Structure 1
Amino acid sequence: MHRVRSIRLAAAAAVAALVVLGGGPAVADKPVAVDWASAVQQLRKAAEGNPAATQAMERLIASKQLPTERKAALPAQPFQIPAQSDIGRGSGPGVYGSGVALGVDGFRFGFFGGPGTISPNQTGAKLEVIWYNVSNGRSATDLLIEHEDIPVDTTIRTKMLDTGPGMIVAAVYGSLWHRWSVPVSEEHPDGFQYQLATISIPSFGAVYN
């Protein structure tokens, strides 16, 4: 049986992991309003020339799931739109997990959720975030590759990023390996079952750095 965690529990664990990994969230002076229609189009423009990112943004726009809440999140909070994948939370296609902005030893993007835990071996998977800083025009696509094989580490993260301050819109897309404990057998010599999740609709959100 999969050890499936809810988005709510995973979010709490992700925030707890921030403390263990070295710091707390940054705090904005006041809530920042988001024009979601403009934000998604700006991120779509930033994705031009990157086929995988462009396709992810097209799927997001086609899903018609833009938030109604007009405030940006703060680091250590999940993105406003969770991702969907072919394995969902472990019982078939559906809601999968969420991107998260992390205010730890600098600014990073991360991802949490899905069935079981994040596998320490991500060979054959590729999880990416495309981001655009509305305040200064900076944009980039970065890999989420940093993860420690310890119980408190519930996220996989980018390297430390120099986005500059301001409001940043971002989408996480791609694929990610998960694993959960099973009895040791010839088929599972290390005592784990592995499954690759492929994101169908990216996790999308705006965060104030």
Structure 2
Amino acid sequence: MQKLGLIRRFTAALAATTAVAVVFAGQAAADPAEVDWNTAARQLRAAAAGNPAAEQAVDRLIASGQVATAGQVALPAQPFQVPAQSDIGRGDGPGVYGSGIALGYDGFRFGFFGGPGTISPNQNGAKLEVMWINLSNGRSGTEVLSEHNDVPVDTTIRTRPLDIGGGMIVTAVYGTLWHRSPAPVSDANPDGFRYQRGTISIPSFGVIYN
């Protein structure tokens, strides 16, 4: 039920974000039965070799057991099938946090949606990353999610445009991200905002199509 609620919140917010982040629609979609989730996770782990932070993130994902229960999400926006878990969750303590997403904003990008409040325009001291591998052409890489517009309709933080090629892409989002929520002005909140930094414990994981 938590996953369903997350997708519903994403779908509702997506209508408002189209002016800022045009949703990417994959050109091809394989039958969900064609995705071997455990194999996909192992391939992503192999691609992470030599990157300690990515290795540890994918190891936590595999150890969580959530990969085996991933389900296909038949939405044009292509949110990742496994949402992230973090120490702050939706703002009320550890739990479901948000989801990675494939976007077509000025070219193909990876993004992240979710968390409490809104995404802070200042990400100093935080670093959100995406690890990906294209199973169709063998390309892989790690990118920082850093692009965000400080306007109410922008509910995602995104990578730069990427040339990853077409095909099936296995990917995971991990790291840390600052959020902010309105709060009464005080010594603790001089600018009228409360800030929370989420640390992802289990990455958002998914298979998307370009």
Above 0.5 in TM-score?
Answer: yes
Alignment-mate amino acid for residue 208 of structure 2: V
Distance 1:63 1:137 in 2: 26
Distance 1:181 1:71 in 2: 35
Distance 2:65 2:206 in 1: 14
Flag structure 1 segments of 5+ consecutive residues without an equivalent. 1-5
Q: How far is the alpha carbon of 1:71 from its aligned partner?
A: 4.6
Q: How far is the alpha carbon of 1:72 from its aligned partner?
A: 7.4
Distance 2:16 2:78 in 1: 12
Evaluate the alpha carbon distance shift between residue 75 and residue 165 of structure 1 in structure 2; reply closer, same or farther with a 3 A threshold: farther
Could you say which residue in structure 1 is the equivalent of 2:195?
A: 194
Distance 1:102 1:109 in 2: 6
Secondary structure of 1:21's counterpart equals: coil
Secondary structure of 2:67's counterpart equals: coil
Distance 1:38 1:27 in 2: 22
State yes or no: 1:180 paired with 2:178: no
State yes or no: 1:62 paired with 2:63: yes
Query: Percent same amino acid among aligned pairs?
Result: 66
Cα deviation 1:87-124 (Å, max 9, x = unaligned): 01111111111101112221100001111110000000
Could you say which residue in structure 1 is the equivalent of 2:85?
A: 84
Q: How far is the alpha carbon of 1:13 from its aligned partner?
A: 4.7
Distance 2:111 2:52 in 1: 22
Could you say which residue in structure 2 is the equivalent of 1:26?
A: 25
Distance 1:195 1:81 in 2: 23
Could you say which residue in structure 2 is the equivalent of 1:100?
A: 101
Evaluate the alpha carbon distance shift between residue 108 and residue 18 of structure 1 in structure 2; reply closer, same or farther with a 3 A threshold: farther
Q: Is the 8 A contact 2:21 2:104 kept in 1?
A: no
Alignment-mate amino acid for residue 146 of structure 1: E
Could you say which residue in structure 2 is the equivalent of 1:16?
A: 15
Q: How far is the alpha carbon of 1:191 from its aligned partner?
A: 0.1
Q: How many residues are aligned here?
A: 204
Q: Alpha carbon RMSD of aligned pairs, Å?
A: 1.9
Of 179-188 and 197-206, the range deviating more from structure 2: 179-188
Normalising to structure 1: TM-score of the pair?
0.90
Flag structure 2 segments of 5+ consecutive residues without an equivalent. none
Could you say which residue in structure 2 is the equivalent of 1:146?
A: 147
Cα deviation 1:36-92 (Å, max 9, x = unaligned): 111101100000000000000110000001154665766622100000000011111
Normalising to structure 2: TM-score of the pair?
0.90
Alignment-mate amino acid for residue 15 of structure 2: A
Distance 1:69 1:59 in 2: 15
Could you say which residue in structure 2 is the equivalent of 1:3?
A: none
Evaluate the alpha carbon distance shift between residue 140 and residue 30 of structure 1 in structure 2; reply closer, same or farther with a 3 A threshold: closer
Alignment-mate amino acid for residue 76 of structure 1: A
Q: How far is the alpha carbon of 1:30 from its aligned partner?
A: 4.2
